Amino acid sequence: MASGTNNLPEKQKLINLTTKEIQEGDWFDGYKTKKQHPMYMTSGMEYGSHRPTVHTMPTSFHAKSQKFSEHLGTCGMYRDQSLNTSMDKSIV
């Protein structure tokens, strides 16, 4: 990375990455995995084994609305208050 970026916040460091650093994936250290047996390889494992590049990384992120969760937090979870008409089973 460029010099002088050590005291910047983490988000600012990601913004200042050069195209070469992103393409080489040197800034991302999460793709160290053991070699899988080829007989048990899945398509997801094949896709996930490659480091992200400029072409596969999203250019923007869109958060989902938290309206439902906020409403649930104020009202509480649904509680079934119906009448129980079944007979209790005897353990004896």
Residue 31 pLDDT exceeds 80: no
Residue 84 lies in a domain: no
Tens-digit pLDDT profile for residues 35-91? 778 788 888 887 777 777 888 788 888 888 989 888 888 887 788 888 888 888 888
Domain total of the chain = 1
CB 23 within 8 A of CB 53: yes
- pTM of the predicted model, to two decimals? 0.29
Per-residue confidence (pLDDT) for residue 77, from 0 to 100: 78
* Structural domain includes residue 26: yes
The alpha carbon of 80 is separated from its chain's Cα centroid by a whole number of angstroms, namely 33
Question: What are the DSSP calls for 74-87, one per residue?
Answer: HH----------SP
Q: In sequence order, which residues have a C-beta less than 8 Å from that of residue 43 and are 6 or more positions away?
A: none
Mean pLDDT of 20-32: 58
Encode burial over 33-47: b for 16+ CB neighbours within 10 A, e otherwise. Answer: eeeeeeeeeeeeeee
Whether 1 shows a pLDDT value over 50: the answer reads no
In a domain, 89, yes or no: no
Q: What is the extent of the structural domain holding 59?
A: 8-75
Task: Flag whether 40 is in a domain.
Answer: yes
